[in-house]
Chains A and B, each alone.
Chain A
């Protein structure tokens, strides 16, 4: 966990240092034209504008707040269940033999609640007690169990768990009596315990499953948000015709790179903030999210957020350069997001099922889906370090190829107005 905190601090510090250095550098010069500026400084200007405009936007502020609330809920709510459940009152009508009384108490213990057995005069008064909520269940003569309202199969509250356990165990006790077993035989059978199961791999538990789930959700939400920004940002520059003014001063590739880097920095800053917040909060509330391979899942989530953004941002930028109206954007957004949705659903299913599927292992090596699958596989300890590295290298190499193709499409499409530009037209050898 310390490693994650250090990584987050380093990213934020480097970003601030670059921005500060640029500011100091720019205020030093006094001439109107500072001479031929370098490509890097042009990209830097574009990056700074993107970062400033995005940080100022209401969408960023509200979006960050929303993500923080979701993360806080995901961390805090599970810890609330760890506390002691309140005692349950069970009414007794008629007689309840000592073995059956012991059965009820042991059932309560098995589901982690304490129980008070309260004598009731008759069934009628017991039912009114049930309706008033003073007692949770009534046992009539050790052979009937009454509750106020039917139990839902999905109800996992302590009261529901207690009723189910008591019903099951009293039923078994009744069967033992029908089989004419002696008291000692019944007790021996009732105290039967399941055999312990041991595994070769270390256990993962629900906490780790939750960490992987949060990671996959975070990557999906952030990639969707920031890639949409890229798509809309490029379209806005084209539709507002500011692109002509910009390209009279800088090259298309510089403009595109600056935009991708600027929005990427905002994404990384937001992700770092969310991770830092999650770390601090989980430590302060004593969450188990970061136990075991949890820190590795967090680091892996950050790494794949960056790699996923790098891959998709170029695709979305190229797509944005072919359209200039909102309705055209909408028709593009769905097909572009399909690989992300597919990878996300497979990752969620895998994380919930408790074991990685073969499909998930395959998708972990494909750049469009790897950002969702790989952090979950890391959570399951189902990948070695070299498999992780191999997938990252495949992703980086594909990103370079995609970026080159995107730059070509962008250069050819961004100045073509008057309708959506067809990709086939742009990729033709003679296209200009």
Chain B
């Protein structure tokens, strides 16, 4: 019995290994033949513990190229640890990061762009020189790094600060320079931790435009943010994590149309939507400015809801709506 177990174990491992290799090759083949998705960043089974705290708990998700992916989760969910893991900046207890099916190493990471949560630049170094230096560390030539830094500084509206020291720039402008540092070398993967935090509306628009443009040009773009409305506007897909594990992932459109039906109803003379409270199978999720957002169970007839609303007063709005990202977030992250 003992010898039999011994005999089977290596065979079983070998079989698993072979199946895993075949699986990887099929994935690569699929990636190659699909026109739209040409690259794929895979986060597979990441586990990371800090003492008794579990920061990442078997976290797995994909980031396809051509899409802007929002990376969401409450504070302490493990977003920053995941992003640091992509760049090998934290040791993992288990799991791996793959790029187009292969485990990511230093050579691949050199072609990635990273914007850390706590911005990181040499305070006393000139902006232009700093960008050239970082570009060259990513494998660019001196001339290309120079041209790219001028171009990105112009695009981000800080071209006139190339000869200034970083420490003399405002917070917002330092953030723009940090963004330029992540984009400078034309990365294949762009990982941005809170890129919109602290920016004015024009800065948010500029960065949103750049992220979309990068994704369209074939880059894998993933960024974290707590500004859910902006994420909803920018992203095609989202990954939501909580307590280190995956809660939900998918295309924003699919997630918005999934789940129970949502109604927006406005009744004159009843700004707090008291008429809707107590209806079986109807939950009032939000009331703002006299506008009530209702979540209907599958068994509830919407005509009945309309009748009850009419009894309460004149109905000025009665619209079926998609599930907003903020609602999805609240529903999934408890």
B144 touches A240 (CB 8 A): no
As a 0/1 sequence over residues 76 to 119 of chain B, the CB contacts with chain A under 8 angstroms (1 = contact) are 00000000100111110000000000000011011110101011
Closest beta carbon of chain B to A342's beta carbon, Å: 34
Given A242-B120, A245-B120; A34-B140 close (CB under 8 Å): yes
As a 0/1 sequence over residues 33 to 54 of chain A, the CB contacts with chain B under 8 angstroms (1 = contact) are 1111100001001100100010
With a CB–CB cut-off of 8 A, which chain A residues contact B137?
42, 45-46, 246, 249-250
Query: Chain B residue with minimal CB distance to A242?
Result: B120
Q: Which 8 A/B pairs are nearest by Cβ-Cβ distance?
A: A241-B120, A242-B120, A432-B91, A248-B87, A249-B137, A244-B116, A248-B114, A241-B118
| A32 contacts partner chain B, Cβ-Cβ < 8 Å | yes
As a 0/1 sequence over residues 131 to 172 of chain B, the CB contacts with chain A under 8 angstroms (1 = contact) are 001101111111110001000000000000000000000000
| B290 contacts partner chain A, Cβ-Cβ < 8 Å | no
Docked Cα-Cα span, A241 to B112, in Å, equals 18
Given A36-B107, A245-B134; A30-B141 close (CB under 8 Å): yes
Query: Chain B residue with minimal CB distance to A238?
Result: B120
With a CB–CB cut-off of 8 A, which chain A residues contact B91?
432
| B185 contacts partner chain A, Cβ-Cβ < 8 Å | yes
Closest beta carbon of chain A to B251's beta carbon, Å: 28
| B122 contacts partner chain A, Cβ-Cβ < 8 Å | yes
Docked Cα-Cα span, A29 to B142, in Å, equals 8
A contact residues vs B (CB 8 Å cutoff) = 26-27, 29-37, 42, 45-46, 49, 53, 236-237, 240-251, 415, 432
Docked Cα-Cα span, A33 to B188, in Å, equals 12
Docked Cα-Cα span, A241 to B87, in Å, equals 14
| B123 contacts partner chain A, Cβ-Cβ < 8 Å | yes
Closest beta carbon of chain B to A26's beta carbon, Å: 5
A248 touches B121 (CB 8 A): no
| Option from B107, B118, B120, B186 in Cβ contact (under 8 Å) with A32 | B186
Closest beta carbon of chain A to B4's beta carbon, Å: 36
Closest beta carbon of chain A to B102's beta carbon, Å: 14
Docked Cα-Cα span, A32 to B138, in Å, equals 10
With a CB–CB cut-off of 8 A, which chain A residues contact B111?
33
Given contacts A31-B141, A248-B112, A250-B106, 17 further A-B contacts (CB under 8 A): A30-B141, A30-B143, A32-B186, A33-B138, A35-B139, A37-B110, A45-B136, A46-B137, A236-B123, A240-B123, A241-B118, A243-B120, A244-B118, A246-B137, A249-B137, A249-B138, A415-B89
Closest beta carbon of chain B to A333's beta carbon, Å: 21
Query: Chain B residue with minimal CB distance to A42?
Result: B137
Docked Cα-Cα span, A46 to B134, in Å, equals 10
| B300 contacts partner chain A, Cβ-Cβ < 8 Å | no
With a CB–CB cut-off of 8 A, which chain A residues contact B122?
236-237, 240, 242
| B181 contacts partner chain A, Cβ-Cβ < 8 Å | yes
Docked Cα-Cα span, A37 to B110, in Å, equals 10
| B19 contacts partner chain A, Cβ-Cβ < 8 Å | no
Most-contacted residue by chain A among B88, B106, B119 (CB, 10 A): B106
With a CB–CB cut-off of 8 A, which chain A residues contact B141?
26-27, 29-32, 34
| B308 contacts partner chain A, Cβ-Cβ < 8 Å | no
Docked Cα-Cα span, A237 to B118, in Å, equals 12
With a CB–CB cut-off of 8 A, which chain A residues contact B88?
247-248
B139 touches A53 (CB 8 A): no
Closest beta carbon of chain B to A337's beta carbon, Å: 25
| B125 contacts partner chain A, Cβ-Cβ < 8 Å | yes
B120 touches A240 (CB 8 A): yes
Docked Cα-Cα span, A29 to B122, in Å, equals 27
Closest beta carbon of chain A to B119's beta carbon, Å: 7
Docked Cα-Cα span, A30 to B148, in Å, equals 12
B139 touches A33 (CB 8 A): yes
A30 touches B144 (CB 8 A): yes
With a CB–CB cut-off of 8 A, which chain B residues contact A250?
106, 137
Given A33-B139, A240-B121; A245-B133 close (CB under 8 Å): no
Query: Chain A residue with minimal CB distance to B135?
Result: A32
Docked Cα-Cα span, A403 to B120, in Å, equals 26
| Option from B120, B133, B144 in Cβ contact (under 8 Å) with A244 | B120
Docked Cα-Cα span, A26 to B111, in Å, equals 19
Query: Chain B residue with minimal CB distance to A28?
Result: B141
Docked Cα-Cα span, A241 to B142, in Å, equals 24
Docked Cα-Cα span, A417 to B123, in Å, equals 18
Query: Chain B residue with minimal CB distance to A233?
Result: B122
Query: Chain A residue with minimal CB distance to B124?
Result: A53
9 contacts between A and B (CB under 8 A): A29-B141, A30-B143, A33-B139, A244-B87, A245-B121, A247-B87, A248-B89, A249-B137, A250-B137
A244 touches B89 (CB 8 A): yes
Given A32-B148, A33-B111, A49-B133; A241-B116 close (CB under 8 Å): yes
Query: Chain B residue with minimal CB distance to A48?
Result: B133
With a CB–CB cut-off of 8 A, which chain A residues contact B186?
32-33
With a CB–CB cut-off of 8 A, which chain A residues contact B133?
45, 49
Closest beta carbon of chain B to A396's beta carbon, Å: 29
B110 touches A36 (CB 8 A): yes
Closest beta carbon of chain A to B182's beta carbon, Å: 8
Given A27-B142, A37-B139; A247-B89 close (CB under 8 Å): yes
